[in-house]
Structure 1
Amino acid sequence: MSARPGKAALFEQFAADGITHMFGNPGTVEQGFLDLVDRSGMQYVLALHESVAVGMADGFARASQGPAVVQLHSGVGLGNGIGMLYQAKRGGSPLVTLVGEAGVRYSAMDAQMAADLVAMAEPVTKYATRVVDPSSVLRELRRAVKIAMTPPRGPVMVALPADVLDQVTTEPAVPTSVPSFRTAPAPKETARAAELLLEGSSPLILMGDGVAASGAQRELTAVAERLGAPVWGVNSSEVNFDATHPLYRGQLGHMFGDDSARVVQDADAVLIVGTYVFPEVFPRLASPFRKDARLVHIDADAYEIAKNFPVDLGLAADPRLTLEALAQELDRRGAVPAATGPAVRTGQRQPDTPMDHFARELAAQADTGRLAVFDEALTASGALLRHLPPRIPGTFFQTRGGSLGVGIPGALGVKLARPGLDVVGFTGDGGSMYTIQALWTAARHGIDAKFVICNNRRYRLLDHNIDQYRRELGIQPHAYPEAFDLTRPEIRFTELAASLGVPAVRVEKPEQAAGAVRRLLAHDGPFLVDLVTE
């Protein structure tokens, strides 16, 4: 391999790994390798804030099931992206985050923007490193990609000093070797799992995004049907189980442990797959399971198994292969799929909220076979899921990790990764303002994603949460804090979107929903709907 600067070899490595996009916000210390990006064949997707860049990469990685590259500017840019990197870590998104710095030679100077980038990134990444020698630039990149793509997947950070990239390297650019972790448990362990699960008379399944990561949706369905077990989503933000299946019961709450406890308290045989229990902000410290309940936990990530509560059997293995073997073992033991009947749905009256009107129209007018939804609607999500329940893997993505603002950039990333899909991102008025600059990126690059801002003029989720907080402490209801209010001044989203190059329409009445959906679907390019939900 001929000698060339590390900054040029960088793009050769991306090409060898089939990486086509870089999401970023440029800075002076990265100017050396960014000067080559236009000639590299890579598409640089410009964001006006680092959290937008990370959010787009998150959506891209989730939709493509491959690594996504993010470029951040030194310590200040990394700092701006920390919240979204935390979300990517919690959600298992394989992001390769490149952070520039002035140079190794300046390390002792404590100069402007100097920071320990590795120490900053470690809490929110799976792996963080700093390249200090030009002969290892590509080696470090391949290691980063491998670690990001190895279960449990997650974001990594590579600090790139400018003076290291300016030096020459003769390293060859070759595809990254990502080892296979498709492992199945020993037959006797599968038999033990079947035995434990069949001992109970009231089985239950708790599932999460590890199912989608391994492509185990069909196998999970087979096991659920043989056990006749209701299925609940826990750390679940993708299509892990068909939401219209009769055994699907919904999502557990992600805020208070008592919500989950009420669901699991009567189960005497529990299968946990692809998630840890439980991810609430205020979890129960004591186990919510019955003392005589048999617990079987399957996950590719051994750390998550029995992390918080003991289990009877933990299987650190690939969910798809393990569930496939478990279904076969259940068959051998005579557990045939039971007649499950129609899907359980609470309430018979058709809801009539503004969000219901809009979601109903979207379901009626869109080609749902090619429609993808990125859902950060939070308090309005229930209405969305009533009319567009997640069914097809790879077409539904929900916010995860607690970071606000991923709805718009996440939808952009999904559209870039899956251009054949019609992508609609739902977010709230408060959440959208964390990353509203992403609309400019949509307009600049002509990304044909659509956006719906569910506008209730406040941080409504905080209203709900403080209601429960007051009930638990016996505090009498009273006015909500002024800090939750977003009406003074009111945010004019249609004007804001127009100023960023995206046409928009405001929906204030139910009868306006049908026309707004028609405009959204027919428009060639990004389009926004300001949907007044209260």
Structure 2
Amino acid sequence: MTSVRDATIGTLRRLGVATLYANPGSTEISFLADFPDDLRFVLALHEGSVVGLATGQAIATGAPAVALLHTTAGLGNAVGALATARVNRAPLLVLVGQQDRRHLALEPFLTGKLTGLAGDYPVWVESPARAQDVPGAVARGWHEAVTGRGPALVIVPSGDWQEGMPDSEVVAAPRAITRAAGLDEADIEPVADMLTSASTPVLVSGAGSDEPRTWDALVALAERLRCPVWQEPFGARAGFPQDHPQYAGVLPADRSRLRAALREHDVVVTVGAAAIRQYPFEPGPLVEPGTAVAVVIDDPDEAHRSPADQVILASLPAACERLARRVPARTTPAPEFKSAVGPAPPASGEPLRAGHVLAALASLVSPETIVVEETPSSRPELHRLLPARRPLGFVSAAMGGLGFALPAATGLRMARPDRPVVAVVGDGSAIYGIQALWSAAQYGVGVLFVILANGRYAVMDRLAEGHGDTKPPWPDFSDVNMSWMARSFGCPALRLDTYSELTQVLGDVVPQLAERTDPLLLDVSVAPDPEFHP
């Protein structure tokens, strides 16, 4: 007879798990003591970083990453990061510690009311009825995370790990699941007919399309249609090569400007996203009357909430490939959108702005670079100046909560050491996930963190001004020194105040990013941008 712990570790091995991210507490010690050498244990200093690191790995690989959280405090601290993982479609298997079940009825110290603590953001939550059900729950949680594309939680009382697991015990989970990805020709006919009969079709690519086969199929479809391709607003990933001449840019996030952008088109087909995410609220329709909307998506939730005339709920690469073959090629001239030009270098006495930093980066990063973004006030300029040229070229937090970029970039680079990773982060955002720098330094993760430090929440300032307030009630935080904070966590850092310093350091560092094994944080002092539109 083996133990529940050893049976669970065997289950993780069969599932291909190689890494466990954690910030453990006492209820997890019985699982972690004498941890096997073939599983890599990665420590993070805050549960938001634990889940952020795992989210980065899951985004990079498409397979579930495994995180371990410590009862109520750990799960509570991680809820925002779990919400981000869910909206980012990142599959996670999350083990949550609990007090020993033999005295749970007495609610001893560290007992957690855990089942509903993360709300609706987990795709599945399980508290196994018996200790012997834990290995099966872990296996099922893995499958649930893949199917639901989000975090699946398994709550394990501390005493369960040492219970016996008879060899004859039935494990209530399959060893493997094959998910069929095919579809019939008739399945794509409604949308194919819409595109065939359209006079001025347009495509909108979403985060769900960020996969090599879907990119290729969408390029083929766009070139047959000779139509522009927009990116969904607030997309967490790029669903189409943004250096393609038919790429039109990122759609506006308010309804009046959205209608204006799509006004000339009689058919809008959104691929890999719901139709059509917006912020903030503005009354009125999403598109002009008479414009038909179709959605091609593999996420039931996004399909069911789309105000569309037609939805295909199917495997994206298969559906897009069939559409590209089925839709007749047009002979009209294809639109061509020119590449964005960055601002001129600042003149003597002119402040350094985000655009100067982004343009300098854009001139040096390779097409294979993964750019992780969390700089809300500079995001439109980043989209304009740093196009994603390969799948996984752009990653952001779909949820909108802060604290994503530093841990996610670290997890991405750990999972994909073959890809350079640059995180472009506002200082206000970086403060929320600063603990991740310790993990990046401790485990030799060669991410370049570029902090755009303007000493304030610039988006909040702009939004307040939009309401007529000339003086928001919150102060700036220009006294916070990001480079000092980074060095205190063991992460090398440089403070840059001038354009010449910036270009010299970037010129030295960026070409070597693919081989870099230590993180580096650049604390770049920038003036707030005078205008911002979400």
Question: Does 1:119 find its partner at 2:116?
Answer: yes
State the match for 2:43 in structure 1: 46
State the match for 1:409 in structure 2: 407
5+ long unaligned stretches in structure 1: 471-476
Deviation digits for residues 335-378 of structure 1 (CA, Å, limit 9, x no counterpart): 24654354245679658553333333334444x04422211122
5+ long unaligned stretches in structure 2: 347-351, 528-534
TM-score, normalized by length of structure 2? 0.90
* Residue of 157, 161, 176 corresponding to 1:161: 157
Cα distance change of structure 1 residues 354 and 79 upon mapping to structure 2, 3 Å threshold: same
State the match for 1:503 in structure 2: 492
Deviation digits for residues 400-455 of structure 1 (CA, Å, limit 9, x no counterpart): 21120111111100110011222111111111111111111112222222211111
* Residue of 69, 72, 88 corresponding to 2:69: 72
Rounded Cα–Cα distance in structure 2 between residues aligned with 1:524 and 1:118: 40
State the match for 2:315 in structure 1: 318
Give SS of 1:511's match: helix
Question: Does 1:533 find its partner at 2:517?
Answer: no
Letter in 2 for 1:446: G
TM-score, normalized by length of structure 1? 0.90
Q: Would you say the 8 A contact 1:357–1:513 is kept in 2?
A: no
State the match for 1:517 in structure 2: 506
* Structure 1 range deviating more: 406-415 or 189-198: 189-198
Q: Would you say the 8 A contact 1:358–1:517 is kept in 2?
A: no
Structure 1 residues 269-348: aligned runs within 5 Å: 269-284=267-282, 286-309=284-307, 311-331=308-328, 335-336=329-330, 339-340=333-334, 342-345=336-339
The Cα of 1:214 is off from its aligned counterpart by: 8.0
Aligned length: 514
The Cα of 1:289 is off from its aligned counterpart by: 2.0
State the match for 2:532 in structure 1: none
The Cα of 1:143 is off from its aligned counterpart by: 1.0
Q: Would you say the 8 A contact 1:26–1:71 is kept in 2?
A: yes
Letter in 2 for 1:494: S
Percent of pairs with identical residues? 27
Deviation digits for residues 3-36 of structure 1 (CA, Å, limit 9, x no counterpart): 2111122221111111111111010000101113
Letter in 2 for 1:354: R
Structure 1 residues 424-463: aligned runs within 5 Å: 424-463=422-461
Cα distance change of structure 1 residues 420 and 213 upon mapping to structure 2, 3 Å threshold: closer
Rounded Cα–Cα distance in structure 2 between residues aligned with 1:350 and 1:341: 27
Deviation digits for residues 115-171 of structure 1 (CA, Å, limit 9, x no counterpart): 321211342111111123233222111111111112x51111111111222211135
Letter in 2 for 1:251: V
Rounded Cα–Cα distance in structure 2 between residues aligned with 1:175 and 1:374: 35
Deviation digits for residues 232-264 of structure 1 (CA, Å, limit 9, x no counterpart): 22252223101111221222345x444433333
The Cα of 1:40 is off from its aligned counterpart by: 4.3
Deviation digits for residues 172-200 of structure 1 (CA, Å, limit 9, x no counterpart): 9998413314132x323423322212333
The Cα of 1:220 is off from its aligned counterpart by: 1.2
Cα distance change of structure 1 residues 348 and 133 upon mapping to structure 2, 3 Å threshold: closer
Rounded Cα–Cα distance in structure 1 between residues aligned with 2:482 and 2:494: 9
Cα distance change of structure 1 residues 519 and 351 upon mapping to structure 2, 3 Å threshold: closer
Q: Would you say the 8 A contact 2:341–2:385 is kept in 1?
A: no
The Cα of 1:482 is off from its aligned counterpart by: 3.5
Cα distance change of structure 1 residues 227 and 369 upon mapping to structure 2, 3 Å threshold: closer
State the match for 2:374 in structure 1: 376
